[in-house]
Every structure is written in structure tokens, then in C-alpha cells.
Structure 1
Amino acid sequence: MLNFRLKRRAVAAVGAAALAATTLAVGAWSSHGGDHGHGHGRQVDLQLLAINDFHGNIEAASSLTYPGFDEPVGGAEYLATHLEQAREGEKYSTTVAAGDLIGASPFLSAVFDDEPTIESLNAMGVEVSSVGNHEFDAGYDELQRIIEGDEDFEGADFPYLGANVVDEATGEPVLDPYWVKKFKGGVKVGFIGMTLEGTGSIVSQAGIEGLEFQDEVATANKYARELKRQGVNAIVVLLHEGGVPVAEDTGHDCESLDGTGTGMSGPIVDIAETMTPLVDILVTGHTHNEYVCSVPDPAGNPRMVTSASSYGKVFTEIDATYDKRTKDIVRSSVSGSNTVVTRDVEADGDQTDILAEYGPLAAEAGNRVVGYIGEDVKRGATRAEEFPLGSLIADAQLWNTAAEDAGGAEIAFMNPGGVRADLLYDQGTPGEATYAEVFTVQPFANYVVTVDLTGAQILEALRQQLPSAERSTTLVLQVSEGFTYTWDTSKTGTDQIVADSLALNGEPIVADQTYRVTVNSFLADGGDSFAAFAEGENRLFGALDVDAFEAYIAEFGTADAPLQAPELGRINRI
């Protein structure tokens, strides 16, 4: 049984008894035979500050909330201040990130191609990040522009690492695989950055043509050995893949801010348990969860694995001892804590200036009223259910492509992960749907694409909602009005999709009959492992999905007759 030390720090003025930090210390083991004490010049105290899944949330929006806190949290002005306060007195500190810093961003950042977010992160002192899947939303060429800049934009001051993102033709990484932080006195820490191996199946194929996303463990092992050959023994992996805290004890000694997550599940467990012991710490992301865990490495020794929720609402602080003789982190010294980014601190001036520069420009475009809604139109609690906003978007895409010269669509499907925010009645002026709000719902700039699919291919696409070898989770496609089917949860596997229940306007879908089906360009390329859509023929590209949605709201959401949330039941789940 490992010896863990737990401590909590309370935060004033933010909800009764709200806990702002939990700290987990990985104890009872050292890769070099034990601790040797601090001082005397041989050992120094390292500090790593980490964020992940920021998604361009630079503005201190009222929607950024955290369980147990009465007031909103996050915002770049306050995150920057918290990080600066955490660095005080630390001589060996660096700030790092685990991907998805951009992409799927709120309007204020997205409308400027996420340049405001990169400027914010530069000013915040981020020194290195891995790429995540959302860094590829606009394609690899756009990511290179974000990194290198152009005539009007200076680009990222920090390296974006992608050790497992390789050129299919050469097998060589197209991004820097690692970066070494060189502190004074010869103290060196190597950072290997990666995105999840499955990135290729969850971003638009058009933007990543010629790229391959390789296995995380094999890649980390390779570059850890390379760093060691260069005399860099202290190694941290920044990985855009993560896990899910669970209540049951899985032997991973997790701590979460709400105290519920004592165990760990998800892809990161196998990755952490098989990655070389040369790696000392894993900073992770992707799942938008918050945890500080200890997952044993292949030698059976405890190794810290962290994640800091999402949207800049939480940051991680990792403290460790670096031994100058071994040039390595003393594993038994590692402790980690997650802290909620409260707004009871002074706003950072540099961040305020960035917001002041871009805010008025964004407001000019974003405050335009598109149409009117009569109630909240929301996403589901998970991506494994039918939900009103998904139905509304599917209806919009069908309407936009139904005319013969626009595609002749009869059915539309929407992927649940492409719906990024709720459309709320009381957001801004009650009932008004602004362009900024509509854009935030669908920020990916996908096109609507109409294709020929047979009834059999439509059935196959519905079956691909279930977990498979390509995807471990259920993703429920949102469907347009008039299309119905039954999902029988009493059955197993793909038999849950009742084949003879598929119908269009009450008429059975015929297996060998061809239908015109509209999806976004992400699904049309087989995104989210919906390979059946990629088989569609006679493709016709239409408007941007956000433009189709805007036009639908303008047409059917008037001040006198505002849009209502569609009723559920197109999918008959029994």
C-alpha cells in the first residue's frame, strides 16, 4: 500500500466550504533509492504549472461555472493572475499545456482564427504545449500559421509539440517531438508532446491529408530514450488523451476537487501503465475532467497523472525535487494539486488589454440579431442521447439543402460532438439569438454536404453509433424531422438498431433504394468513425454549417413567432 499525503486549501468568498485545491503526493518510492533532502546545492525544487483544453476561453464569461462555487470562474485575466501568484518565489518554474488550447472556441476568439487566444497564452507565460485534436480543426496548414505567424500575426511564442504526428511518406514528425527547458545551474527537463492516436478519426480528413497519428506509448518510449541519450533524465509527457475519475477504488489513488473521484478509468490508464519508467510525470487532457492520480508505471512504481478540467477553470501545480547528480526528478518527491481559477484576484493587465483590443471588433459582428427563440434549446447531458439542439441543427441542414438545386436532401444527420454550446433564451437580450451565439454553437466552419446513400448504408451509419474497435463510446446521431427509427436497448451490439424500423415520413426505408442525405463535411469524411457516410456518392457541397443554421433561425425564428425547441422522439428508445 502506497503512502499518500492529502491536503486541501479552502478559498474564501466563493461558496460555502468550497474547496479550491486538492494535493496528492506520490510517496514511498524514488527512482534513485530515496530522498536526499533539500538545500546544500545538490537538489532544487521544480514547479510545473499546467492547463489543458482551454478552447479559446479568454473572456470571463458568466457561463464558466464550477460545481460547488457560487460565482463564475475562469477567464484569462484571472487565470494569468493565479499562475503569476503560484510562481512567486519559485526559481525553477515553467508553465505547460496538454493541447486543445484553440479550436471549438467562443466567438471572441474564433472569429479572429484564435489569434487572440495565442496572444493571451503568450502573455500568460505558457512555454510549451502538446497539440490536441482541435489544433487540427482548420487543418495542418492553419496550425503551422498559428505556430509561425504571418505578416499580421506573430504566432505562438511557445513550441507546439506533436511527437506522434508524422508524415505518412517519410515517417518523420511534422512538428517538434520534444522540447527541453534549460534552467540555470544545468537543470534540464524534457517535455514530449503528443495528441491522441485517434485524432485522425475525429477531425476533418481534408485538413490532415498525408498525416498519420501514431501510438502514444511507442512514441513516448522512443523519444524518452532519445532524451536520455542527450543527458536529459527528467522527462514529462504532455499528452492530449485522458481518463475519467470514478468512485470505485481502481488502485490509482486519485483525488478530485469534489472528492468523488478516487479511481480512474479510460484510455490514459493503459497508456500510463505501459509507458516507459523513464517518464516521470504525465500531464493529460482531452476528457475535460479534473484529477490528480497515481498510476503505476511498468516497474510498478507510482507515477503522477494529472488533468485540469477545461476552459481555464482549473490549473494544476506539480512540485518535485530535481537531483543535480542524477539529473532526474526524485519520483517520491512529486506532489500535485488542482486549483479552481476564482475571480477574487486582481485581473491581469496584459490580458485586459488583449480583451479590450478584440472585444469591440468582435461585438460589432457578433451582436447582430439573427432571429428569435422562445425558450432554451439545449444539448444533452451526454453525447449518447437525442437532444433538442441537435434536432434543430439537423432540421436546419435539411431545410438548407432540400431544394433540388441545393442537393435534394431528404434526411439530415448531425454529430453530437459538433454542437458546442446551448442556445439560451436569457443569454443577452431575452429571446434574441445573435450571430455570436449561433457561431458558438457551431464553431468548426464545416460545410453541409449532400450525398447519395442507400437504405442499407443509412442503417450501417446508425449501427456505427455503437461502440466498436474504432471508438469505445456511443455517439448518437441527431436526426432531422421526418426520419425515425427504434433503438432497442434490451438487445446487444448493433442489433440495438432495429433494422425494419427505419422510416422516412412514415414510409419504410428500403435497403437498396437511394436517398439524398445531408451531413457536415466532418461526417462526410467518415469523422467520429462513421465510415458509412464516407461511402456517399454524388457529393454536393453547400454552405458553411453555421451559415445554414443562421439562415434557418432567421427564416423560422421571428419576433412574433420565435423558434421553439423540437420535441424529442425521432429516435424511439425502448
Structure 2
Amino acid sequence: MRGLAALVAAALLAGCAGRTAAPIAGGAAGPVAGGAAGPVAGAAAGPVEVHVIAFNDFHGNLEPPKLSIDVAGADGKPVAAPAGGAAYLASAIAGLRAQAAHSITVSAGDMTGASPIVSSLFLDEPTIAAMNLIGVDLNAAGNHEFDRGIDELRRLQNGGCAKTGNGEPCRLDRFAGARFAYLAGNTIEASGHSAFPATAIREFRDGARVVKIGFIGLTTRTTTTLVNPAGIPGIRFADEADTANAQIAGLRAGGADAIVLLIHEGGAAEGGPNDCTALSGAIRPILDRLDTRVDLVVSGHTHRSYICGYAAYDPARPFLLTSAGRYGTLVTDAVLAIDPATHRVVGKRARNIVVQNEGYVGADGKTVAPSDLTMRYAPEPRVGGLVARYTAAAAPLASKPVGLLTGPLVKAKEGGGMTETALGNLIADSQLAATRVSGAQIALMNPYGIRTSLNPAPDGSITYADLYAVQPFGNTLMVRAYTGAQVRAVLEQQIDRKIVMSVAGMTYAYDRSRPAGSRIMDARVGTAPLDDAATYRVTVNNFLAFGGDGFSTLTAGRDVAGGPSDLDALVAHLATGKPVGPPATGRIVDRTPVR
């Protein structure tokens, strides 16, 4: 029997095309630890329904990110609905909570890190403040939340103005820290203990009846290769399934009637945001080993959206698996129906809801207007005011013009790490140019360090904020000495990692079908063949120099000189006073036979 809250929520969110959801009076509700009771009374009998409201990979996108989600039109053709923005996400979540007798709001990681300038310039403090206003209860730390090191992540949790690395904390406000809990049970310190809690139990009261949900929070074990090792000294990231399975007994002993896994790891599926055809990716082998007593898995990391009944893939593991894409463009409403008498989950369902905003003008100059095919949200006032204040504070730097482009430069598509791009070549060129003074001959740039495409204004102008969005990590360039044999080994390791770095100062070809050690061909530095016995000065960012993205071979180099930040190098490269065209591709040639 469906609860009244679910019926009302379905009517509000699914059957009101063209309506605008007004913000909740007084702003977003406060944190919902212990269960937030909305205006709909719980049923006297039958299961207790708890709405787990979830999102993932927000990445500090306080302002609407100029992205859209396709919704189906009357003729079945997709219609773009503009989506995202913290104030709109706040309204969407507040609307869902208002229609649910019991709810909790959670995130599956990367709430911060790799953020646009309005958040990142202030060390992501405004994003934490926005999430406090929204009422987030739990967040499973993602790999990007370790970008500035574990000490800075602890500061985001606990607050304070201690400087833990690059950047000045508390520039606008004294930072109070997150009112929600970070969970990352597989973040293991040298002592053998986890740096963050693994679990939390939340209780929901329905009159005299009580149900409890146990939450497990994990980050991807690949975090070791995805962040600067200098920021996580002595930390290892344990196996996700093993860590989760070890928590189940304790949660059950603590009275948990249902188990929810919040995990910053994910997959990809075909279809729309509520489909799950041909699920693939790193999440699958984790789920295939996960304890069958888990009821709901809220995932992230891949920036994909899906709703999966995992029984279609493994009947013995009927998990409900969800992911809400990226940047707050979607929010998941997952419902667990719990029988308080038998302490069992007797039903579950979920759907992804488009967080539709008021529209935007795209890089192509075309307007993406709101659609009447899905709910439209008004910005929540308190969160909107917070975003406006930080946007204004960042504006003098963000709006500064830095150069001209003849047209847009596009980053590789998600999962397209083997693709050479003009944008990657431009960045590599800028880094080589910035370090020529130190004798640099080659520059290497990792594709996953390029966060977004570079889209000039209609007049071709590029602002500091545009470049910041492309390279938000604050990496420093380093010139290191490698033998030609070591350079060749790095290029070989790319094939194993399925990542092709952009290059400047050299060209080469590769054939993935050849035996390891012989897959790199025709490698040249300038016009001369790469000499295995010679020594070359190679520019890399400090993330790569310390073995980031799994390039352990790059740690073998000898430091020669430092350089500017990657962002400063790109700014200087574009400050020519003339329009800059896209660098030609073809520096890297794929000669793998097509079968």
C-alpha cells in the first residue's frame, strides 16, 4: 500500500507540467538528522516510507552550470530542459521533503573539488555553507574532496581558518564547517584506522513506531591515483566491497532495519536518467561482491545518471542502484518502505528528477528556455543570496579578460581519455612556453586535468573564469629530467592506463595491438628521433610528477626547475592581444589496426 506522502509527491512532481515550484517559506529546511517530518502525517499501519533524497558530483557548481537534461516531448523526441544551480537544487530538495513524512538528504561524493571559480576561489567554503542551508545530512567523500589534501578536508568538516595549503581561508566569513557528516570508511591511515567514520544510523519516528536506516560511506579506492599523493601521506584506500561488508553486522546490531551504501564509484548505462540498460563500469564488480543485506546503493563518480534494479544483473542481489549525474542537474528521490514489525524493507523505488532552472544562453548563442514538460523551480532565497554574495566577491577576478580565441575548444568526452584534442594541445603548448626559460623540451598534459571545454564569448573574448573552469586544481608546473628510455616508458604506460596525454615539443604514433614495450613508434622530439640514451627536460604538473593518474613512471624523474601554476601559464599564453586559433592535432597518431 503506497503511503499518502508518496502519492502527494508523485502528483506534485510528475503531474504538474508547466508549473513553477515556489521556494519553501523561510528558506530551505534545516538538517534532517533523525528524520524530518513534513506536513503529511505517517500512516497508522503498514510500512513506514522514508525518502532518501540524493545527489552526487556537485563539484561546487553554485551557479547554474549551463547544462540541460533531455526530457521526452509529446512526439517522443528529446527536449532540452535547463538544469542545475545550488538555489534551484535547494528548492527541489525542499519540495521533496515537504511532501514526505520522513526523509533524509545525502550526497555520494565530490560535493567540492574541481569547482568553478565562485566556489574554488574561496576554498569551497560557500558550497559547504550552501549545503548546510539545504540541509544535507551525510556525504560520502569523493576523490576530488581530497584534492587539497586530507587536512583541508578535515577543515571543511570541522571548520576554522587554519591555512592547510594554497589559498586563503575565511576570506568573506569565518568558516564554521559542515553541519553534515563526511563518511569515508575505506580511507585508512598508517595506524590502520579510518580517517573518517564509515557508518551512521538515522532514526525515523512514525507515531509510536520507529525505523532505523544504517548508512555506509565510501570513496573510490582509485583515489590514490587521482589526487596528489603529497596531500594524503600514509593514506591508503581499501577495497570498497570488503569495507562495506565489514560494516553490516555492526549496523544490524545497532538496530538498522535498512542498509544504504553511499559510494563514490559508479558506472554507465544506456537510456535516460531513469533507465538502466547495459550497465557497465567499476560499480559492477563491487556490487557483485556486496552483502545481499544492502537495500539501496547511491553511487557517483562517473557523472552518469541511472536508476537500476540490480536484480536484472544478479537476482541474488536485488539492490536499488541510483546516480544523479553531475552538478546538481538531477536529484534522486529513492523511497524505502520499511515494515517496523518485521524490521525489513518490503518495497523500494526511485526516480531522478530534473532540477530545472530559468534557462541560459549557451556558448553557441542559443537560448535554452525552461520546458513545460517537467517541473520548473524558483531559486531558494537564502541559498540564492549566498551564491550572489560570493559571485559578486569573485567578479573582479572572474570577469577579467585574458585573451581572444577564434572559436571554441572542446575537451574529450567523458571516457574519451585516448582522444587527442586541440584544447589539450593548447594547454601543453602553454606549459612548454612557460618553462622554455628552464630548458624544457617537452610538455605532457593529462586529459583528466581538463575539466571543461573553453568557449569564448561571441566576440571571441576569454575571461579568467573561463580558464579557471578549465584548470581549477591550482597545480604547479615542474621541469624534470628524464632519459629518452623513461619518456618512452611513460608513453607506453599511457596505453595500459587508457589515457593519452597531450604533448608539446614532440610527436609519436602508437599501436595498441603490439606487445608491451613496442607499442610506441616514430617518437620524435622536435624533428629528431627520441634517443633512449639522451636526457630530456620535460614539463609536467606536480600532480603528474608525483604519479597522478597512475603514471608511476613519472616519479623517476630528477627535478630541474619549478615553474608557474598551470593556470598562470595558460593565461600568459593567451595574452597576445590577437585571436589565438586552435593548435593542430596529429601530434599523436593511432596506428592500431581496425578489426
TM-score (ref. length: structure 1): 0.86
Secondary structure of the residue that 1:565 maps to in structure 2?
coil
CA distance in structure 1 between the aligned counterparts of 2:397 and 2:121, rounded to whole angstroms: 9
The alpha-carbon deviation at position 539 of structure 1 amounts to 4.5
**Pairs within 5 Å for 1:376-455:** 376-381=408-413, 382-404=416-438, 408-426=439-457, 430-455=459-484
Identify which range, 88-97 or 439-448, moves more after superposition. 88-97
CA distance in structure 2 between the aligned counterparts of 1:245 and 1:154, rounded to whole angstroms: 39
1:264 is matched by which residue type in structure 2?
L
1:465 is matched by which residue type in structure 2?
Q
Secondary structure of the residue that 1:48 maps to in structure 2?
strand
Contact preservation (8 Å) 2:491, 2:520: no
Task: Give me the CA root mean square deviation.
Answer: 2.1
**Pairs within 5 Å for 1:128-139:** 128-139=138-149
**Pairs within 5 Å for 1:320-399:** 320-330=336-346, 333-343=347-357, 344-381=376-413, 382-399=416-433
Say whether 1:294 aligns with 2:309: yes
Of residues 533, 543, 548, the one that matches 1:512 is 533
The alpha-carbon deviation at position 298 of structure 1 amounts to 7.6
1:118 is matched by which residue type in structure 2?
I
Residue 33 (structure 1) aligns with: none
Residue 33 (structure 2) aligns with: none
The alpha-carbon deviation at position 430 of structure 1 amounts to 2.3
Of residues 64, 73, 89, the one that matches 2:67 is 64
Call closer, same or farther: CA 1:394–1:418 in 2, change over 3 Å.
Answer: same
Of residues 171, 180, 188, the one that matches 1:166 is 188
**Pairs within 5 Å for 1:147-226:** 147-151=157-161, 152-168=174-190, 170-184=191-205, 185-226=209-250
CA distance in structure 1 between the aligned counterparts of 2:130 and 2:148, rounded to whole angstroms: 20
Say whether 1:573 aligns with 2:594: no
Call closer, same or farther: CA 1:9–1:42 in 2, change over 3 Å.
Answer: closer
CA distance in structure 1 between the aligned counterparts of 2:138 and 2:274, rounded to whole angstroms: 29
Unmatched segments (≥5 aa) in structure 1:
1-6, 15-37, 247-254
Of residues 528, 541, 553, the one that matches 2:574 is 553
The alpha-carbon deviation at position 70 of structure 1 amounts to 3.2
Secondary structure of the residue that 2:111 maps to in structure 1?
coil
Contact preservation (8 Å) 2:274, 2:307: no
CA distance in structure 1 between the aligned counterparts of 2:246 and 2:511, rounded to whole angstroms: 46
Cα shift readout 1:242-290 (whole Å, capped 9, x = no counterpart): 01114xxxxxxxx63385x412111111111211112111100001111
2:292 is matched by which residue type in structure 1?
P
Residue 528 (structure 1) aligns with: 549
Of residues 506, 509, 513, the one that matches 1:483 is 506
Residue 55 (structure 1) aligns with: 59
Secondary structure of the residue that 2:109 maps to in structure 1?
coil
Of residues 18, 24, 46, the one that matches 2:50 is 46
The alpha-carbon deviation at position 495 of structure 1 amounts to 6.0
CA distance in structure 2 between the aligned counterparts of 1:327 and 1:492, rounded to whole angstroms: 57
Say whether 1:12 aligns with 2:22: no
Say whether 1:93 aligns with 2:97: no
1:453 is matched by which residue type in structure 2?
Y
Cα shift readout 1:114-162 (whole Å, capped 9, x = no counterpart): 1111111111111101000000011001101111111510111100101
Unmatched segments (≥5 aa) in structure 2:
1-9, 20-41, 71-77, 162-173, 358-375
Identify which range, 320-329 or 175-184, moves more after superposition. 320-329
Secondary structure of the residue that 1:449 maps to in structure 2?
strand
TM-score (ref. length: structure 2): 0.83
Call closer, same or farther: CA 1:544–1:231 in 2, change over 3 Å.
Answer: same
The alpha-carbon deviation at position 493 of structure 1 amounts to 5.8
The alpha-carbon deviation at position 329 of structure 1 amounts to 2.2
Residue identity over aligned pairs, in percent, reads 37
Secondary structure of the residue that 1:403 maps to in structure 2?
helix
CA distance in structure 2 between the aligned counterparts of 1:85 and 1:189, rounded to whole angstroms: 22
Of residues 125, 130, 135, the one that matches 1:120 is 130
2:546 is matched by which residue type in structure 1?
D
Secondary structure of the residue that 2:80 maps to in structure 1?
coil
Call closer, same or farther: CA 1:89–1:66 in 2, change over 3 Å.
Answer: closer
CA distance in structure 2 between the aligned counterparts of 1:396 and 1:11, rounded to whole angstroms: 51
CA distance in structure 1 between the aligned counterparts of 2:177 and 2:57, rounded to whole angstroms: 19
Call closer, same or farther: CA 1:258–1:308 in 2, change over 3 Å.
Answer: closer
CA distance in structure 2 between the aligned counterparts of 1:45 and 1:13, rounded to whole angstroms: 28
Contact preservation (8 Å) 1:273, 1:295: no
Contact preservation (8 Å) 2:274, 2:351: no
Contact preservation (8 Å) 1:130, 1:238: yes
Residue 75 (structure 1) aligns with: 85
CA distance in structure 2 between the aligned counterparts of 1:403 and 1:82, rounded to whole angstroms: 52
2:579 is matched by which residue type in structure 1?
P
The alpha-carbon deviation at position 231 of structure 1 amounts to 2.1
The alpha-carbon deviation at position 341 of structure 1 amounts to 1.0
Residue 251 (structure 2) aligns with: 227
The alpha-carbon deviation at position 292 of structure 1 amounts to 0.7
Call closer, same or farther: CA 1:258–1:506 in 2, change over 3 Å.
Answer: farther
Cα shift readout 1:346-374 (whole Å, capped 9, x = no counterpart): 21111111112111111111111112222
Secondary structure of the residue that 2:52 maps to in structure 1?
strand
The alpha-carbon deviation at position 39 of structure 1 amounts to 4.4
